[in-house]
Amino acid sequence: MLREVWSGSIEILRAMWITLKHFFRPPVTNQYPDDRVPVYPRFRARHVLKRYENGLERCIGCSLCAAACPTDCILVIAAENTEENRRSPGERYAEVYEINLLRCIFCGYCAEACPTEAIVLEHDFELSTHNRWDAIITQEELLEPHEPDYILIRDDQVWVEPKWGHLTK
């Protein structure tokens, strides 16, 4: 029994020593809305509709994204391009393009299905709204440029533990 008391006391002291060591460490918490964590360039969050360099929309209103979407959250209504109103290089453009973010699962199938690489998932991850209807984002919100200043992007360098290189040398 004495041994039990001794080993138990030692274990309690060890536990308390470990917590004391942690007590003097700086906190690891990110103070999120104040300190923002930069995302990687390949980070995939909210959709963006891309444009060509000359400003024309890439989207041709083919609805392949809507067909590929497993949750059926994309609505595309196409319209014919005319000489006076030319919005994309092809025959048609998307007159209505809406994504219901409450249904979207961010699988990226829409981006894979797109023949002109018009829709891609980009960096904006702050998607909360005060109103359910605001969760349905429209073409104006989707079209480029959409680079809000609260989204920080870090460089694409992958951090490798230094000693890894030394092992092979």
Residues 31-50 that bind other proteins (CB under 8 A): 31
Structure token digits, residue 142: 């989707």
Cβ closest to other proteins, residue 20 vs residue 158: 20
Give the closest residue to 132 by CA, choosing from 155, 159, 100, 109: 100
Give the closest residue to 49 by CA, choosing from 57, 40, 38, 41: 57
> Cβ-count burial of 58 within 10 angstroms (0-12 exposed, 13-18 middle, 19+ buried)?
buried
Per rule CB under 8 A, is residue 152 in the interface with other proteins?
A: no
**Selected range binding other proteins among 26-34, 61-69, 121-129, 155-163, rule: CB under 8 A:** 26-34
**Selected range binding other proteins among 22-30, 76-84, 125-133, 159-167, rule: CB under 8 A:** 22-30
Per rule CB under 8 A, is residue 12 in the interface with other proteins?
A: yes
Per rule CB under 8 A, is residue 28 in the interface with other proteins?
A: yes
How far apart, in whole angstroms, are the C-alpha atoms of residue 41 and residue 43? 6
Residues, the chain: 169
Residues 95-134 that bind other proteins (CB under 8 A): none
Residue ranges that bind other proteins, judged by CB under 8 A: 5, 12, 15-16, 18-20, 22-23, 25-29, 31
